[in-house]
Structure 1
Amino acid sequence: MALTHKAGGQGGRKKVQVSFVIREEEEKQHRAGVNSLQYDPLLDRLYSAGRDSIIRIWNCKNPKDPYLQSMEHHFDWVNDIVLCCGGKNLISASADTTVKVWNAHKGFCMSTLRTHKDYVRALAYAKDKEQVASAGLDKAVFLWDVNTLTQLTANNNTVTTSTMTGSNNSIYSLAMNPPGTVIISGSTEKVLRVWDPRTSNKLMKLIGHTDNVKALVVNKDASQCISGSSDGTIKLWSLGQQRCIHTFRIHEEGVWALAVNESFTHVISSGRDCKVLMTDLRNMSKPPVLVCTEKAPVLKMVTTPDQAGIWVATSESDINYWALPKKDISPVASGDGNDSDVCDLKPYCSAPVFTIKGAPAIRKVHTLNDKRMILTQDSDKNVALYDVLEARKLEDLGQVDFEEEIEKRHRRIYVPTWFNIDLKTGMLTIHLTQDENDCLAACVSSREVGLTCPEEPDMRVNYGTVLLRALLEHWLDPFTKDEDAEIGGHQIRQIANDFRLVRVPGHTPLIFSDVGGRAFHRLLVKDAGGENESTLLKETVPQWVLDGICDKNNPAKNQFPKIAFFLQPHPSTGIKHMKKCIPKTTTENLK
């Protein structure tokens, strides 16, 4: 089935939320797990897809300083990547529901495909035909022509994709052979579904696994494929006979990653048990070779073309390169050599040849009761202090007691919660919405929170308004100079002379999405004044944000809510009664 799609199209929208990431200007290290890898043998470069939303390029010739460049345009986990066109282009799939096309050599995003309706989990590449398939939690499989994707422009932005129908469950793995004669998917349905991409016809369904199928590889002529499952098994299938030839029970837990050599004589497997095993497919009774044991569950592996080594990515931020044994090596047992159980195998490698170091991810967070400062603790137990309103880190406190730091910074002040925190990427992502935590709900005295204005030392401010103006400052500036400028029914010039209490770093990523995480637009704060970005923001910025920026219905400009209460004497005072009074006071005076 064919589907016509506009690159960059957004379709019907749900309620829009505004998000931003507090981070360094250049993040050279992964901050969380690495979901996928691709190796370019011509340039000796490694591409890594991070859970921190960033794709990074590494120079494998320079182990001491391998970082080359970051490719940034996603704002959620990058789940899979494939190199195409001899390494010139890269396709990425993300939990932000998009598929992106990149210039791999220059590192910039060329176009964005928004056809998927949920997380995009897997990609597959047919090298001989330059086709890429994408699939994910929306149960859909789309087939794309890479040459068409790389020619997309702002004016030429329509592309036709083929759809493989019939999947009943979320898809987690995908495979295509180089000639592009089959597409195979693995899902929570616990089966393998096989299609002919030339006709989009379903060919077969392979049944045998008892849990999610997380990894797939297929040989060149599509006669055989191998699957790895969360049930802990690896299965070798004959597509011609439509049956399982052999089941390998060599892992203690789920199998999440597979890699094969081009001749399909050996398979390397790993997953939740952290063991990287090499199995000889020509002699299936032969025990596997334990290549190495990682420190965290393995998510992806990619071998060098000469099969001399393998790059391994895990749920931690380091990427390791391990030497591979020669294919005729026999497994080495740590005991008397008679027990072929994997638990008794001695690793071929005791240490990696080369490690691309990652950075710690933020794992714990506490918002202080001024609802501006945040304390965090990362995976190395380092504690840091952040300022949400200025979108920056204030101080690294080191490996101190997290709870003691919270207690030390406690203040007797009440401010409503006005933002949500997300640690999914290993960095601080702040979400501003109008849900139960309304970002325009926090009205405070500037004196109480240290936002003093010389002209109005006791000015009341709205945290949400202050921050939204700072995030969109570069977009608003041109409009404030035009007396007739109007956006969303508001005269923008009216805020031109308002005192700007804070400014956020220009490198801060600013994201517009629906509350479910479906992407609309991502940009850097400093780029919001550009012609293209400004035009897109006019279409993207929701009305509630414009109202907030212009102080429409903002209680900070009016009167604070009043609270009625009675005063009663404490028994210890000896006062028998006191005159009934119902004073009215603002919340800021209740301490």
Structure 2
Amino acid sequence: MARKARQRISYVLPLANSAGGHRLGVNGLAVDTDNSILYSGGRDGVICAWDLHLDLKHAVAPEHDEKVAAQPATTFRQQVQAHTHWINDIALAQSNQALLSASSDITIKLWRPAATDRLPPQPIGLHSDYVKTLAVPSTTSDWVVSGGLDRKIYMWDLNGGGEKLCINVAEDEAGSVSNKEKGSVYALAATNNVLASGGPESTVRVWDARTGKRITKLVGHTDNIRDVLVSQDGSTIMTASSDQTVKVWSTVAGRCMYTLTMHDASVWSLFSADPDLSVFYSSDKTGLVAKTDTRDVIELDEGISVAVAQEHEGVHKVLVAGDSIWTATSRPSINRWRDVNIEHAEIDVPENYSTKRYSVSTIRSRYPSPPNRQESSSPPPPPNRPHETGTRKIPLKYMLRLSNTAPFPTPLVVEDERSASVVDGNKESAPPEVITTQPVRTLPDFSIEGQTGLIKHVMLNDRKRVLTLDTAGDVMMWDLLKCVPIKSFGKRHLEDVQKEVTTTANVANWCTVNTRTGSVAVILEENTCFDAEMYADELELDEDIEFREDQRINLGKWVLRYLFSNLITEEIRRDQAFRKELLSSKEQQRLRENAPPNIQIPPAQTNGWHAMGGDSESTATPRPINGTNNVPTTPGFSIGLATPGTFNSPVRATSGMHPLSPTAEEGEPLGKRTSHQSSQSGDRNSDYFSSGKAPNAELTPAGVITQQPATPGETAEEPATPGGEPTPKETSSKFGKKFRMGMSFSGMKKIGRTQTNEKEKPAVVEEKEEMESDSRSSKTSNSRVIDDNFLGTIQKIRFAYEDSLQSQIQNQQAHENGLPVPTPGPIDLASAITPSLPAETPVLKPPLNTTILIQEERPEAGGVADLFEGTVGTLGEQCDTLEKAAPMWLGDVLLKNQIPAKDVVKISFVLEPWQGSLPSIATDGNNRLNANRMLRAKKILAYVAERIEPAPTEEEKEAGKVLKPEEYLELWCQNQIVPPTMTLATIRSHLWRGGGDINLFYKANGKKEIKHAPQSSSIPVTPKPQPEATPQA
């Protein structure tokens, strides 16, 4: 059975205000040559747009030794937080109006930066694992293909058509499990007819772009394929691999034509604007950027390759436009380099070097001579160049050898040196003037500086503070509850600061933290976010709030309460409007029910009523309520009114049953949820300690009735309809066709809940079928559909309003008809939205630009999909969207102050007197107890005091001579005194430091005389489990 997708809440702490730019490394680049805009996608999930202020269409690359004027600086244009994980690739489409991004958050998003509506990037596709690469056939394309670690290639329509094609790469192999696991897609290229993909299995697959069928498979690489290019006609494919080679394939011949080895490291990126791939750029793991020109040669490896630039780190993406090259690395900055013109160029060979081709097939070099190249039909160099006459000469020190068999200048070996080397075997003949390769450009022409981002973090023991280290080496402390930085420690080692600020507090893990996008992201999940508590007297608050003694605050509920404070305010406003409208509609209905049977209307007014174009200003014209022509209803028209047969004495005899146990509002037993009163330690009546597992507390029917509004018709005391006539059912009800069946409301309310007669069984069948057909909704006892999201909580509240109002109307009608019912008060609806108060969750004021995310963990996916994104300040405006995206448990927490029920984590310990100096707490020798992990040591001492000495007298209390137990008793563990405010969890982790039961000892400190003497017994007692007795909190 498929596991249900789980939803979680995530919030991102805002960084200090700074100029635009990336916080982490850059993975993707794209350029709009028409508008001179550079786009970049980074590991921080941000897409940035930069104004280049360059002429990218008519610029020509300068010579290697040409002195050029400085180009304009690049300026920041705009940016958007597009993703919540790394952006792995970006691409432009639809005439550069649509920017596409692929991310490790498993989504493909489309952003229109030039649009007037300024919408954020919108998802157009979803993978089930990280999306690694994108490809478009051209910048005017209306579709894009994406590939990822889910071993699938998708084609997405950019005009809202969704998925157009899906290729399952894993199924391409013949059923082998091992081969299916190797189908991840790391590289993609596309034309209108052909797709090419590569990945870790070192195989290039070519697909038909229209049918998704594989055309051919190219084998030859020995390591991961990192990038792919396809020529415009689809006849040539170029691939870059971690095996340090660039291979050129022919799709016609179905084999590798050339293997280029100009790189000495893993080749990561390829770029070419040439339709035939004759001129291309490549970059590798060492940061080398090479430009290769294979025009005007017979054999491709006879072309020329130049080391253009050298980065300090591996280049993930290389991009060229005009006369500039941009490189993206793991740093947040982007460097711009001046291109090098190598058209019609040849190597400037030194005199003591010779050019020859190393080949086993032929001795005669096929490298074309300089005169032949100069007589090429290609156009001459542009005017006003240093080399406008003759052939361009590129110094040998800038050159790269294309392949092992390519012609390349090598040093000449002098005969005398060769003879000397034979005579003197200890000396090696070294070539004269060994030339090492160096890049043409040693420094970038311009650098787009990035910002500082967080790269490492450590959660502290108190689980509300975290230390971070940024790219500049600074250490910062953050408050996860207030969502702000607390203190900066400067450039220090993170571990050293951690030792200084770590406390002994031990708090349950209630959240997870990551800094993968350069910011602190906090993730809250339903199963764990309510596990942690802290004592109110340990808080540092700006406002003076009076708390109960030893009051505890749930950290998860606390932070959620104020992250969504604007949403709660909006829901309270909507709730007030709904109750007002509901009361108004019921009053209008009551007035219509009491209206006289005949109304004399003048003919002129009647004509005006039926005429569509009547005088709208006439005050005598009857008006429909709310703009609709409602037919007046008869008394008892509303759903909640029961028929006379419901209130006969046989039905009254069933009042001993408990029809309210599964409430109509909840659709489930109340035992599955806990209210905020039961979750607070100060209000509990249960014991602190127990020798065995404490029995589960059960709710009595009375308790249920007091907590939930009664549903009309569910008690035997409901009044009968005046006159004893059955009432018709409301056919316009929004709850569907169930309510059109001719049966009493009393029978309907018991569908699937209580006993029914034979006439009502068809309704039961219908209820059962609907429950089985809709797993995403729950239903109340009268078949109302409840959405399984935040909106479902609101629906339950509003259904309860309707039921309560119907019950009040029925009681009022019964009283008016003289039935023996209590005198009803005025009809009113009190708000059922009860958020936690400041005494329970002190006021927090998180920054308004704190990002809020609703995410969904999909069982079949390797990642998390974002369902909603907003900020603390905009949640009220996004209320409708949030209601559909957020989970129901969040609605229960925010609007009803109810957290999901969960067993309390307890810790077992043995409590004994120190060396027999005080009486034992148990006469039978059983001193093994367990208690809530958050129980403080002073509560244990109070438990001891109650059992070893009598309670203080009234005279002692009035005289003020009563000492608190922690003032005259001490608790010891591992020969260390336990502070009165230390919890059991902290005692276990910092003092006991082991497994099993904790051994605790108590003794007097001499400030008070213990009246009871130690009790001795000669009869040995075997400890055994027994029910515990616990002092009141």
Contact 2:125/2:156 (CA < 8 Å) preserved in 1?
Answer: no
RMSD: 3.1
Task: Confirm or deny that 1:466 pairs with 2:558.
Answer: yes
Q: 1:404-433, CA deviations, whole angstroms, 9 ceiling, x for partnerless residues?
A: 322222223222121111122122111111
Q: 1:126 aligns with which of 119, 137, 141?
A: 137
Structure 2: unaligned runs, 5 residues or longer: 55-71, 171-179, 346-392, 400-407, 412-430, 580-792, 798-830, 858-862, 922-926, 937-980, 984-1033
Provide TM-score, normalisation by structure 1: 0.86
Task: Please give the alpha-carbon distance, in whole angstroms, between the structure 2 residues aligned to 1:524 and 1:114.
Answer: 24
State the 1:492 CA deviation. Answer: 6.0
User: Which residue number in structure 1 is paired with residue 604 of structure 2?
Assistant: none
Give 1:477's aligned amino acid: T
Structure 1: tracts of 5 or more residues without a match: 1-10, 150-157, 570-574
Residue of structure 1 aligned with 2:278, choices 258, 265, 274: 265
* Contact preservation (8 Å) 2:22, 2:44: yes
In 2: Cα distance, 1:250 partner to 1:470 partner = 59
The alpha carbon displacement at 1:524 in A equals 2.0
Please say if residues 236 and 249 of structure 2, whose CA atoms lie closer than 8 Å, have aligned partners that are also in contact: yes
Matched residue SS, 2:394: coil
Q: Letter of the aligned partner of 2:867 in structure 1?
A: F
**Residues 1:135 and 2:147 aligned together:** yes
- How far apart are 1:454 and its partner, in Å? 3.2
Aligned mates of 1:110, 1:48 — CA distance in 2: 14
2:95 is aligned with 1:78? no
CA distance in 2, matches of 1:509, 1:73: 12
Summarize the Cα distance change of 1:203–1:492 in structure 2 as closer, same or farther, 3 Å threshold.
farther
SS in 2 for 1:447: helix
SS in 1 for 2:880: helix
1:41 maps onto 2:33 in alignment: yes
Whether the aligned pair in 1 keeps the contact of 2:272 and 2:280 (CA below 8 Å) is: yes
User: 2:119 matched to which residue of 1?
Assistant: 108
1:249 positional shift: 2.0
**In structure 2, what residue type is equivalent to 1:245?**
M
Residue of structure 1 in register with 2:982 after alignment: 590
Q: Please point out which of 19, 40, 50 is paired with 2:10.
A: 19
Q: Which residue number corresponds to residue 884 of structure 2?
A: 539
| 8 Å CA contact retained: 1:291, 1:325 | yes
**Contact 1:561–1:587 under 8 Å retained in 2:** no
2:4, 2:272 → 1: CA distance?
Answer: 42
**1:487 partner SS:** helix
- Secondary structure in structure 1 of the residue aligned to 2:883: helix
- 1:507 maps onto 2:849 in alignment: yes
Residue correspondence of structure 1 range 73-472 to structure 2 within 5 A: 73-106=82-115, 108-109=119-120, 111-127=122-138, 129-146=141-158, 148-149=159-160, 159-167=162-170, 168=180, 169-177=183-191, 180-263=192-275, 264-282=277-295, 283-285=300-302, 288-304=305-321, 306=322, 308-327=323-342, 328=345, 330=394, 332-333=396-397, 338=410, 344-435=436-527, 438-451=528-541, 454-458=544-548, 459-472=551-564
Q: Per-residue deviation at 1:359?
A: 2.2
Q: Deviations over 1:228-260 (max 9, x none)?
A: 112221111111111111111222322111011
Structure 2 vs 1, CA of residues 296 and 108 (structure 1 numbering), >3 Å: closer, same or farther? farther
Determine the C-alpha separation between the residues in 1 that align with 2:101 and 2:42: 11
| Alpha-carbon distance between aligned partners in 1 of 2:918 and 2:516, rounded to the nearest angstrom | 55
Q: 1:245 to 1:410 in 2, by over 3 A?
A: same
- 1:435-473, Cα deviation, whole Å (9 max, x unpaired): 5xx111111112213247634245421110011112222
Code of the residue aligned with 1:487 in structure 2: it is I
Do the aligned partners of residues 414 and 115 (structure 1) sit closer, same or farther apart at CA in structure 2, a change above 3 Å counting? closer
CA 1:492 to 1:86, structure 2 compared with 1: closer, same or farther past 3 Å? farther
Q: Which moves more between the two structures, 327-336 or 500-509? A: 327-336
2:570 equivalent in structure 1:
478
Write out aligned runs for 1:37-76 (5 A). 37-61=29-53, 66-76=75-85
Q: CA deviation at 1:25?
A: 6.9
Taking the aligned partners of 2:257 and 2:17, their CA distance within structure 1 comes to 49
CA–CA distance in 1 between the matches of 2:209 and 2:144? 11
CA deviations over 1:91-138 (Å, ceiling 9, x no partner): 111111111121122463363224422222111112254332122112
TM-score normalised per structure 2: 0.51
Moved more, 451-460 or 277-286: 451-460
C-alpha contact (below 8 Å) 2:52/2:74 kept by paired residues: no
Please tell me whether Structure 1 or Structure 2 has the larger radius of gyration of its CA atoms: 2
Corresponding residue for 1:518? Answer: 865
Residues 131 and 143, structure 1, Cα contact 8 Å, conserved in 2: yes
- 1:343 deviation in Å? 10
Report the residue type matching 1:69 in the other structure.
Q
Q: Would you say the 8 A contact 2:85–2:517 is kept in 1? A: yes
Amino acid at match of 1:400: R
- Contact 1:133/1:143 (CA < 8 Å) preserved in 2? yes
Q: 1:403 Cα shift?
A: 2.8
Amino acid at match of 2:278: T
Give the structure, 1 or 2, with the largest relative contact order (CA under 8 Å, sep 6 or more): 1
Would you say the 8 A contact 1:97–1:519 is kept in 2? no
SS at match of 1:86: coil
Given that 1:331 and 1:345 are in contact with CA atoms closer than 8 Å, whether structure 2 keeps it comes out as no
Paired with 1:195 and 1:286, the residues of 2 have a C-alpha distance of 30
Matched residues in 2 for 1:506 and 1:104: separation?
Answer: 24
Distance, in Å, in 2 between the alignment partners of 1:478 and 1:343 is 73
The worse-fitting range, judged by mean Cα deviation, of 66-75 and 342-351 is 342-351
Distance 2:332 2:289 in 1: 18
d(CA) in 1 for partners of 2:866, 2:83? 9
Aligned residue identity for 2:186? Y
**CA–CA distance in structure 1, aligned partners of residues 436 and 40 of structure 2:** 32
SS of equivalent to 2:508? coil
What is the alpha-carbon distance in structure 1 between the residues aligned to residue 496 and residue 147 of structure 2? 46
Which amino acid in the other structure matches residue 7 of structure 2?
V
Q: Structure 1 residues 129 and 427, CA, compared in 2 at 3 Å: closer, same or farther? A: closer
For the 8 Å contact 2:246–2:267, the answer to whether it is kept is: yes
Give the aligned residue type for 1:120: V
CA distance in 2, matches of 1:110, 1:404: 41
The question of whether the paired residues in 1 share the 8 Å contact of 2:455 and 2:515 is answered with yes
- C-alpha spacing 1:75/1:462, structure 2 compared with 1 (3 Å): same
- 1:353 and 1:540 map into 2 onto residues whose CA distance is 47
Structure-2 change in CA distance of 1:273 and 1:287 (3 Å): farther
For the residues of structure 1 that align with 2:557 and 2:868, how far apart are their CA atoms?
21
Shift of 1:330: 3.1
1:536-575 equivalences under 5 Å are 536-549=881-894, 550-553=896-899, 564-567=909-912, 569=914
- SS of the residue aligned with 2:463? coil
AA aligned opposite 1:86: S
Q: 1:251 is paired with a residue of what secondary structure?
A: coil
**Are 1:580 and 2:920 matched, yes or no?**
yes
Q: How many residues align?
A: 557
C-alpha distance in 1 between matches for 2:162 and 2:398: 57
Contact 1:187/1:213, CA 8 A, preserved across alignment: yes
Q: Which has the higher helix share?
A: 2
Q: Aligned pair in 2 of structure 1 residues 554, 376: CA closer, same or farther (>3 Å)? A: same
